[in-house]
């Protein structure tokens, strides 16, 4: 059984992102151990930019980032689901990415996740242009890359403001999940 971590990158627990997270989780529940989390389940401070982690591979702060990173460590597959907030990932998720600097492979020493993890990105927005989704996917895949998580696939949707609008993309989301499962 593979461990799948599905992350709601939005602070909204019952919005469109949560609905996509639920659809994705349901797709994996029969043959994987699925953990769905919301970035708002975790309380953590902003990165202070002190760069202590560049020499210690540890953050000077101790908070829920450690809990979420434990979920990353347990997972074989990570699916980040992100809405557009001002054309990028929500601030809460960006703050988490900043706090992952101890794991960033651009400095030595750095903390490391177990190798072999696959990362997927689902991005969506209310507006109609697809480019904004690509930008969000790029942010998530940039993050995966520096944590040595393989960027294994992504998908983007437009025209979603509230959770009801997710339904029209159900088939595409299910198909995306089948593609992920085929690679497990």
Binding site residues, ligand FMN, CB under 6 A: 10, 12, 15-18, 83-87, 125-127, 132, 160-161
Q: Smallest gap, in angstroms, from Cβ of residue 127 to ligand FMN? A: 3
Three-class DSSP labels, 117-157 = CEEEEEEECCCCCCHHHHHHHHHHHHHHHHCCCEEEEEEEE
Q: Smallest gap, in angstroms, from Cβ of residue 13 to ligand FMN? A: 8
Of 10, 155, 162, 15, the C-alpha closest to 85 is: 10
DSSP category for residue 79: E
Residues 6+ apart with CB under 8 A from 85: 10, 91
Comparing CB distances to ligand FMN, the nearer of 101 and 139 is 139
Q: Smallest gap, in angstroms, from Cβ of residue 159 to ligand FMN? A: 9
Q: Smallest gap, in angstroms, from Cβ of residue 84 to ligand FMN? A: 4
Comparing CB distances to ligand FMN, the nearer of 18 and 59 is 18
The C-alpha atoms of residue 106 and residue 148 are separated, in whole angstroms, by: 11
DSSP category for residue 168: G
Comparing CB distances to ligand FMN, the nearer of 24 and 160 is 160
Comparing CB distances to ligand FMN, the nearer of 132 and 141 is 132
Comparing CB distances to ligand FMN, the nearer of 81 and 152 is 81
Q: Smallest gap, in angstroms, from Cβ of residue 15 to ligand FMN? A: 3
Residue 3 in tokens: 């461990």
């Amino acid at each position: 059984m593979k461990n799948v971590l599905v992350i709601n990158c939005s602070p909204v627990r019952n919005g469109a992102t949560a609905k996509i997270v639920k659809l994705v989780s349901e797709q994996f529940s029969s043959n994987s151990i699925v953990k769905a989390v919301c970035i708002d389940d975790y309380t953590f401070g902003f990165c202070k930019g002190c760069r202590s982690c560049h020499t210690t591979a540890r953050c000077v702060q101790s908070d829920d980032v450690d809990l979420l990173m434990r979920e990353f460590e347990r997972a074989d597959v990570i699916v980040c689901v992100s809405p557009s907030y001002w054309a990028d990932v929500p601030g809460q998720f960006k703050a988490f990415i900043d706090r992952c600097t101890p794991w960033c492979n651009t400095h030595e020493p750095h903390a490391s996740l177990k190798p072999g993890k696959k990362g997927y990105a689902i991005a969506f927005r209310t507006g109609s242009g697809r480019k904004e989704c690509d930008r969000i996917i790029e942010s998530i895949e940039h993050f995966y890359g520096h944590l040595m998580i393989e960027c294994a696939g992504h998908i983007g949707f437009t025209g979603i403001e509230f959770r009801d609008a997710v339904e029209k993309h159900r088939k595409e989301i299910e198909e995306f999940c089948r593609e992920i499962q085929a690679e497990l």
